[in-house]
């Protein structure tokens, strides 16, 4: 059994790891951390948690974690993750970081967007970007995986194959994305309380969302040239789910060719499904699953390719993909514990 630590186990992504890993036959969670709930049992905070309910939350101290675990999931805010990752790697653990700390390769870009200097820039080259379907080979041997952001996962999965195949232009890409409220985490914030969110729908961080440089970094790699794009995020009054509507300029004006290129790229992949032409995904169809569902249409009137992509932000957008990466790193079947039906309706 692989011994697992969840650092930041009282947050939404930590809790989602507990939920999914409780069905994983090859791992044992040996330590969970929380500063606020330290010394309480997991079941005191989450009474529904049966398998790991008797575990006791501990302070996030690297020595304690290293004494009990071989692989750690970091479910903590950016900044805190870099320091913890460094301390755990030095003690021989493998690390999957769900925060943004190791996603950007350029520490100055990190400082520009996250407004703090990077706390472990020497690890940035080693960190493998954990977009499982694209970087599986590198993930398999990684010590440190930078799990992608939720919006980037929904955006990159459809766009990378089309850019690599030179079927769409790197110029003029527009990503219009909506997220459920759990995307902002479990700590209390005024703008996220029920009356502020319920029956409301708004754009936020317009032209300034921190996932922008992450998406641009990965799409630039796929395109083989530096690109910039418009990325607008919206908060939608539901618990989970991301829907990204993407507008691209095709370089070939044949819907069937564009469709087949994307379909063929993912046909052997368990978790990315390109829907039949004319069908588009719903967030309810991926809720609780590790799936990314994609639909596309070429608008013959305007010449734009419109792609719609849906994920559950807490599963394929965070903890599910992190477990997929752990499976790859550990030689387990890639879909172990991850083949779940949607929680539909």
* Interacting residue ranges for ligand NAP, rule: CB under 6 A: 8-14, 34-37, 60, 75-78, 80, 98-99, 149-150, 182-183, 185-187, 313-314, 317-318
Residue 308 Cβ, how far from ligand NAP at the closest point, in Å? 19
Q: How far is CA 44 from CA 15, 22, 23, 41, in A?
A: 13, 17, 21, 5
Cα–Cα distance, 323 to 159 (Å, whole number):
23
Nearer CB in complex with ligand NAP: 248/290: 290
| Helix, strand, coil share of the chain (percent; to 5) | 35, 20, 45
DSSP-H helix ranges across 132-254: 132-140, 150-164, 194-197, 212-223
Spatial neighbors of 90 by CB under 8 A, at least 6 apart, are none
150 counts as catalytic: yes
β pairing state of 27-33 and 2-7: parallel
Residue 150 Cβ, how far from ligand NAP at the closest point, in Å? 4
Nearer CB in complex with ligand NAP: 75/157: 75
Nearer CB in complex with ligand NAP: 168/242: 242
Q: Which of helix, strand or coil describes residue 246?
A: strand
| DSSP state, residue 95 | E
Residue 73 Cβ, how far from ligand NAP at the closest point, in Å? 9
Nearer CB in complex with ligand NAP: 30/313: 313
Q: Which of 23, 75, 150, 202 is catalytic?
A: 150
Residues acting as catalytic residues: 150
């Amino acid at each position: 059994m692989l011994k697992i630590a969840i650092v930041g186990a009282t947050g939404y992504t930590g809790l989602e790891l507990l939920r999914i890993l409780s069905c994983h036959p090859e791992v044992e969670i040996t330590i969970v951390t929380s500063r606020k709930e330290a010394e309480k049992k997991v079941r005191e905070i989450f009474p529904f948690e049966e398998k790991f309910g008797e575990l006791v939350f501990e302070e996030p101290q690297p020595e304690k974690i290293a004494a009990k675990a071989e692989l750690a999931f970091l479910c903590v805010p950016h900044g805190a993750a870099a320091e913890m990752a460094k301390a755990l790697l030095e003690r021989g653990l493998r690390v999957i970081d769900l925060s943004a700390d190791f996603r950007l390769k350029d520490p100055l870009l990190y400082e520009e967007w996250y407004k703090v200097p990077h706390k472990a820039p020497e690890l940035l080259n080693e960190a493998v970007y954990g977009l499982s379907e694209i970087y599986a080979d590198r993930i398999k041997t990684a010590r440190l995986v930078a799990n992608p952001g939720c919006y980037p996962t929904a955006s990159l999965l459809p766009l990378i194959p089309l850019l690599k195949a030179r079927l769409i232009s790197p110029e003029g890409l527009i990503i219009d994305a909506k997220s459920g409220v759990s995307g902002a985490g479990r700590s209390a914030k005024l703008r996220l309380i029920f009356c502020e969110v319920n029956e409301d729908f708004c754009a936020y961080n317009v032209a300034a969302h921190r996932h922008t440089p992450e998406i641009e970094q990965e799409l630039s790699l796929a395109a083989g040239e530096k690109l910039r794009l418009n990325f607008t995020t919206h908060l939608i009054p539901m618990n989970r789910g991301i829907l990204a509507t993407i507008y691209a300029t095709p370089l070939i004006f044949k819907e069937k060719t564009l469709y087949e290129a994307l379909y063929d790229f993912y046909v052997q992949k368990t978790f990315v499904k390109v829907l039949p032409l004319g069908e588009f995904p719903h967030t309810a169809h991926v809720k609780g699953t590790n799936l990314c569902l994609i639909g596309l249409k070429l608008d013959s009137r305007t010449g734009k390719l419109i792609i719609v992509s849906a994920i559950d932000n807490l599963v394929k957008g965070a903890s599910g993909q992190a477990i997929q990466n752990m499976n790859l790193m550990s030689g387990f079947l890639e879909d172990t514990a991850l083949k779940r039906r949607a929680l539909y309706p």
